[in-house]
Amino acid sequence: MREFARLARFAAASKWWIVLAVLLGAGTVGAGIGLLAASAYLISAAALHPSIAELSLAIVGVRFFGIARAGLRYLERLAAHTVSLRLLTALRVWFYNALEPLVPARVQQFQSGDMLTRAVADIDTLQDFYVRVLAPPLVAFVIALGMGAFLWQYDARLAFVLWGAWLVAGIGLPSFVQRAARSATQKWITERATMHAQLVDAIQGAADITAFGQGENVKTRARETSAAYASAQMRLAQINALQAGASNLFTNLTLLAILVVGISAASAGGFHAVYLATIALATIAAFEAVTPLPQAAQAFENARAAGKRLFEIVDTHRIEIERVDERAHAHARAHARAHGAMLLDVCELNFAYAPHHANALDGISFSLARGKKIALVGASGAGKSTLVHLLARFWEYDAGEIYLEGKSLRECSADAVRENIAVISQQTYLFNASVRDNLRLAKPNATDEEIVCAAQRAQIHAFVEQLPNGYDTNIGERGAALSGGERQRLGIARALLRDTPLLILDEPTANLDAHTERAILGELFEAAQDGALLLLTHRLVGLERMDEILVLEQGRVVERGAHAQLLAQRGVYARMWALQNQALRKNFNFRVQSFGGGEDAFNESTARVSVLCALERQPN
């Protein structure tokens, strides 16, 4: 019921529309009852051959209720769908606003196809929350009161018979349907999400699936998931058929009971027998309000399951900037006065991804002033990318503090923090749009001259110029039309175009050749002259230009200093440097020995000679 209460709060914003829709729905059913009741009375009374004047009111009533039913139904649908669309809008905006702070770090455990299902199909399931879940019980309650009052004037027993039948048909049967449909509904929702996730994976990984000959296995899994999904649908269809038959049975049994009591009452002189048909047909028409209740119970299960999947994501621990105690504020203000010149200051930072897990970062401290460059180096898993996630406010740190221009990150909104940093990561996401549009993601109002300048500095302008439509060329989903290195350079151009005080490089040249890597690093170092640069890498290239290097192991700083100092210490950094140097030598020797590769091999070998010569000139 917790999901129901949370979903009902969304509907509360349209409460007056809901009241109007319920009244119109009750009016529609009431008009149907009036139409059948007036028709029954007209036929029964006409059999007694009265004057036309005595039948005139019933004739007018038939016409009125017939027209009123059509008009009220139209207005009821208009009001109900207004509520549904308002609810759908509120749900989509709410889900996006809740999801945005969690991306990308907090939703990594969810598959993209599953996320798509939650954001589209599950929310679409909830758009009928009012029409199929809230409205039917409210309309049925209003009609129950009205029909009870109508029957009571003939005989109180008729009202009690109707109410008793409605308790069974309107509460007992829906409860049975709800319990019977619960597991099938959950399976249907789950299998639908699984099917969508498999479809997205199969499309995105089609090349690898084909290359490794796994097409048949993928199709087999898809058939199994589809069969499970169809089985759940069949189970729900069977439940629907059962409840439809049961509803008709209860309607007929109630009619029989009403006739038995009504005939008895009419025989005893309780009311004129001419009204017997009116009572019977009014009872049948009133069941229009009860018939949707079992379906409402099933729709409730659908909505509850879909809502649970949405709340599962939204309830993920989020950054709550408001929860900063006064002591933290005071500490931040004192630090700002003492370290106002620092652009970035990290103090005794600790972070673990989950309670009782080992710290991914343990006591990290460093300061970065404007015009300075710091590198954090270490093997994969040392904690470099975790630090990026914390700086970008994707996660909240456990202990310690991070200051940006003297202000605690806990006091800053995520948007305010991200306006001051640009991150170049290993994996650049490119949208299915033109090169120009992908670059303008960083700066929507960028001029063509600024775009070209950023592309030139990222060593990608010449390539873009050769594309069929230049900067207006569509590069496909995730930049499928480009190579890994080209995607990386576009990502670098995008960050350069953003022009922020703090530039964070997380393995920025992982997909580039050695010659391009050196050139782009030079451009990035130059771009950071007016701000600051934080480089996170395991590739020890260009680090001689760093003001300070921090060596990480298992989330801790084990060495720090300038490039030459760390080499002289002959510690962890020196061993990493020696291993990389040795690997480059072996690779270069292999290229020289297999020089028959032609011009491409010659160019690559030349580039590696340049790198190796640069390495040889460094102190050891």
In 5-40, which positions are buried (b, 16+ CB within 10 angstroms) versus exposed (e)? Answer: eebeebbeebeebbebbbbbbbbbbbbbbbbbbbbb
- 284 lies in the same domain as 332: no
Q: Would 451 be classed as within a structural domain?
A: no
- 375 lies in the same domain as 254: no
For residue 108, pLDDT over 70 is answered with no
For position 335, what pLDDT does the model report? 47
Select the more confidently predicted residue: 197 or 561.
561
For position 559, what pLDDT does the model report? 87
**β-sheet bridge partners, residue 122:** none
Q: Would 433 be classed as within a structural domain?
A: no
Above pLDDT 70, what percent of the chain? 85
Q: Would 180 be classed as within a structural domain?
A: yes
Q: Measured between alpha carbons, how far is 412 from 328 in angstroms, rounded to an integer? A: 13
For position 116, what pLDDT does the model report? 67
Could you read off the pLDDT of 184-196 as tens digits, one per residue? 877 887 888 788 7
Q: Would 605 be classed as within a structural domain?
A: no
Reference 542, options 414, 303, 377; nearest CA is 377
- Contacts of residue 209, defined as CB under 8 A and 6 or more positions apart, other chains included, come to 202, 215, 218
What average pLDDT does the chain have? 78
List, in sequence order, every beta strand (DSSP E) within 64-167.
none
CA distances (Å), 50 to each of 42, 64, 269, 276, 374, in order? 11, 22, 21, 18, 103
Q: Measured between alpha carbons, how far is 376 from 369 in angstroms, rounded to an integer? A: 16
For position 75, what pLDDT does the model report? 93
For residue 213, pLDDT over 50 is answered with yes
Q: Measured between alpha carbons, how far is 532 from 547 in angstroms, rounded to an integer? A: 11
For position 327, what pLDDT does the model report? 41
- 229 lies in the same domain as 374: no
- The pTM for the full model equals 0.59
- Any idea what the CATH number is for the domain that residue 510 is in? 3.40.50.300
Grade residue 114 by pLDDT with cuts at 50, 70 and 90: low
- Average pLDDT (327-333) is 44
Reference 134, options 262, 299, 266; nearest CA is 299
- 218 lies in the same domain as 351: no
Could you read off the pLDDT of 476-497 as tens digits, one per residue? 877 777 777 788 888 888 888 8
Could you read off the pLDDT of 228-276 as tens digits, one per residue? 888 888 888 888 888 788 888 888 888 898 889 888 888 888 888 888 8
Helices 514-527 and 448-457 meet at what angle, rounded to 10? 130
Q: Would 215 be classed as within a structural domain?
A: yes
Find out whether the peptide bond into 104 is cis, omega within 30 degrees of 0: yes
- 287 lies in the same domain as 345: no
For position 1, what pLDDT does the model report? 62
Q: Measured between alpha carbons, how far is 110 from 504 in angstroms, rounded to an integer? A: 26
For residue 560, pLDDT over 90 is answered with no
Could you read off the pLDDT of 375-386 as tens digits, one per residue? 888 877 777 888
Grade residue 72 by pLDDT with cuts at 50, 70 and 90: very high
**β-sheet bridge partners, residue 502:** 421, 532
DSSP structural state of residue 270: S
Q: Measured between alpha carbons, how far is 130 from 228 in angstroms, rounded to an integer? A: 29
Lowest mean pLDDT, pick from 213-227, 342-356, 551-565:
342-356
Do 377 and 349 touch, CB atoms closer than 8 A?
A: no
Count of domains forming the chain = 2
For position 584, what pLDDT does the model report? 57
Q: Would 366 be classed as within a structural domain?
A: yes
Last residue of a domain, one of 314, 347, 367: 314
- Any idea what the CATH number is for the domain that residue 197 is in? 1.20.1560.10
- 114 lies in the same domain as 230: yes
- 178 lies in the same domain as 135: yes
Helices 15-46 and 135-152 meet at what angle, rounded to 10? 40
- 65 lies in the same domain as 96: yes
- Determine the 3-state secondary structure of 587 from DSSP: helix
Query: Residue holding tokens 């047909």?
Result: 281
Q: Would 523 be classed as within a structural domain?
A: yes
- Average pLDDT (569-595) is 68
Could you read off the pLDDT of 36-65 as tens digits, one per residue? 888 988 888 888 888 787 788 888 888 899
Grade residue 506 by pLDDT with cuts at 50, 70 and 90: confident
CB-based contacts of 60-68 (< 8 A; 24+ apart in sequence): 61/34, 62/35, 62/38, 64/34, 65/31, 65/32, 65/34, 65/35, 65/38, 66/35, 68/27, 68/31, 68/34
Do 314 and 13 touch, CB atoms closer than 8 A?
A: no
Could you read off the pLDDT of 151-190 as tens digits, one per residue? 898 888 998 988 988 888 878 887 887 777 777 877 887 8
For position 111, what pLDDT does the model report? 62
For residue 337, pLDDT over 50 is answered with no
Q: Measured between alpha carbons, how far is 548 from 525 in angstroms, rounded to an integer? A: 14
Q: Measured between alpha carbons, how far is 44 from 37 in angstroms, rounded to an integer? A: 11
Instruction: Assign 3-state DSSP to the chain and report helix, strand, coil percentages, each to 5.
Output: 70, 10, 25
- HSE of 174 in the Cβ direction (CA atoms, 13 Å)? 22
Lowest mean pLDDT, pick from 16-20, 198-202, 401-405:
198-202
Residue type at 526 in one-letter notation: E
- 76 lies in the same domain as 165: yes
Last residue of a domain, one of 265, 283, 314: 314
Q: Measured between alpha carbons, how far is 454 from 506 in angstroms, rounded to an integer? A: 19
DSSP structural state of residue 359: P
For residue 325, pLDDT over 50 is answered with no
Output the six-digit token pair for 248.
């008709």
- 30 lies in the same domain as 64: yes
Grade residue 71 by pLDDT with cuts at 50, 70 and 90: very high
For residue 536, pLDDT over 60 is answered with yes
Last residue of a domain, one of 293, 314, 335: 314
CB-based contacts of 70-76 (< 8 A; 24+ apart in sequence): 72/24, 72/27, 72/28, 72/31, 73/28, 75/24, 76/21, 76/24, 76/25, 76/27, 76/28
Query: Residue holding tokens 């970035």?
Result: 344
For position 617, what pLDDT does the model report? 44
Q: State the first-to-last Cα distance of the chain, in angstroms, to the nearest integer.
A: 68
- 563 lies in the same domain as 520: yes
* Domain containing residue 300: 2-314
- 253 lies in the same domain as 331: no
Q: Would 430 be classed as within a structural domain?
A: no
Q: Measured between alpha carbons, how far is 452 from 606 in angstroms, rounded to an integer? A: 28
